[in-house]
Chain A
Amino acid sequence: MNPRTGAPCATVAEQLAAWADGGLQGGAARQVAEHVRDCPTCAAEVADIRNLLGGLRDLATTDAPVRDPAFWQAMAAEISAQTQVVRPLRRSVGVPALAFAGMALAAALALFFVRGPTATAPRDGADAGSRSVAVADAGSAAPSVVRAAARTPAALRAPAADDPGETDPALLEDLGGFDDDPLDDIDELGDAELEALSRALGQGA
């Protein structure tokens, strides 16, 4: 506990390492700094952490592989040779097109389920009435999805108990954004390219 403020050390404990390494900014950094200034226990801990970090950096220096310039030149040349057999992918066209197709399909499915009953032949007056609404709607300027939603009974529009209610942002990101996972897109390479790549990698080893 900080003897001056009475703040328990637990409030900063998880931030001490990041702060000791200069990795905190703003209010978080100030809070830890103020605590450490008045708390001998945490101050000693920070000194210990810094000692450890220094040891880690020393270790990285002493264990670092030192190679001559020819090594790096050879490696760069091999990378250059390997990239000559691989055609860079052009995802900027494919992914948005896929996303667009996915959204179009979703909209079509939504319309199908919502409008399905109105597409059948009316069997009584009520159905005939709903058909007349559909015919009237067909001429309006509102987007079909909006019109379809307006026709959907409230009970159907209410989300189910386990329905999150809105689209997961991560899913939208996946549909519309680009994924930088290194294992992505390897399937998009053609057989000839994959073969050439594995050949080149085999030569480089």
Chain B
Amino acid sequence: MQAAMPQSQPPDDAHLVERFRAGDGRAFGELVARWQQPLFRLVWRFVKNDADAKDIVQAAFVRAWANAAGFRADSSFRTWIYRIAANLALNHVRDRGRWREAAVAPDELPTEPTGVARLVEAESARRLRAAVETLPPKQRLVVELRVNEGLSFREVGEVAGCSEDAAKANFHHAIKRLRAGMTEGGEP
């Protein structure tokens, strides 16, 4: 009778980081394959174009590679690489001086107005999108990380460079601001 083979599970990030730090370059490749898409989506929401998002994600991974020895074992690779990419994205948007202007142009938005309900939905989405763009950088980052990336508030704090409580406070103020923005625009 054959012994049941243990199911092979993909190595976790910590294991891959250890392998990479021991000199296994393929382990870093696995980390890239694992995290490049979520990172790209996060960065893209800030910079709103492929070329810049791609550059920033690539730069984030190169910095992670170059600074692998400085990676703290008590934090996760995920929060570490998110932090690097988020800093680069925020700096990029700030340097381009288009924090408030980074909103997607109306003709780029997916709109299929086939009826009144669709129009109302599209208007509501437009207003919400505009409200998000007016959030201060840190509140915006906290909302993105929490709502769209599913990070815990502790992880959000690690990425945003603040405490868990400060991350919750930023989240509270961001939501309050978004609700006010939606109300000011008039309910559909």
B87 CB contacts on chain A under 8 angstroms: 181-183
A182 near B60 with CB under 8 A, answer: yes
- A183–B110 Cα distance when bound, in Å, is 37
Stretch at the interface among B3-11, B32-40, B93-101: B32-40
Return the contact of A180 from the options B57, B83, B129 (Cβ within 8 A): B83
A182 near B36 with CB under 8 A, answer: no
With an 8 A cutoff between CB atoms, is B50 at the interface? Answer: yes
- A54–B176 Cα distance when bound, in Å, is 15
With an 8 A cutoff between CB atoms, is B117 at the interface? Answer: no
B163 CB contacts on chain A under 8 angstroms: none
B70 near A83 with CB under 8 A, answer: no
A79 near B172 with CB under 8 A, answer: no
With an 8 A cutoff between CB atoms, is B41 at the interface? Answer: yes
B146 near A21 with CB under 8 A, answer: yes
- A58–B125 Cα distance when bound, in Å, is 9
Contacts A17-B171, A65-B50, A178-B72 given; does A52 touch B178 at CB 8 Å: yes
B125 near A62 with CB under 8 A, answer: yes
With an 8 A cutoff between CB atoms, is A80 at the interface? Answer: yes
Residues of chain B touching chain A, judged by Cβ–Cβ distance below 8 Å, are: 21, 25, 28-29, 32-33, 36-37, 40-41, 44-45, 50-51, 53-55, 57-63, 65-72, 75, 80, 83-84, 87-88, 104, 109-110, 124-125, 128-129, 132, 143, 146-148, 152-153, 168-169, 171-172, 175-176, 178-179, 182
How would you classify the secondary structure of chain B's contact residues: helix, strand, loop or mixed? helix
- A49–B180 Cα distance when bound, in Å, is 11
With an 8 A cutoff between CB atoms, is A70 at the interface? Answer: no
- A56–B128 Cα distance when bound, in Å, is 8
A83 near B61 with CB under 8 A, answer: yes
What's the nearest-Cβ distance from chain B to residue A119, in Å?
42
What's the nearest-Cβ distance from chain A to residue B65, in Å?
4
- A18–B172 Cα distance when bound, in Å, is 7
Return the contact of B45 from the options A57, A60, A177, A184 (Cβ within 8 A): A60
With an 8 A cutoff between CB atoms, is A205 at the interface? Answer: yes
With an 8 A cutoff between CB atoms, is A78 at the interface? Answer: yes
- A87–B66 Cα distance when bound, in Å, is 6
- A191–B22 Cα distance when bound, in Å, is 25
Contacts A75-B58, A178-B69, A183-B87 given; 4 further ones with Cβ under 8 A? A56-B147, A88-B65, A179-B70, A182-B60
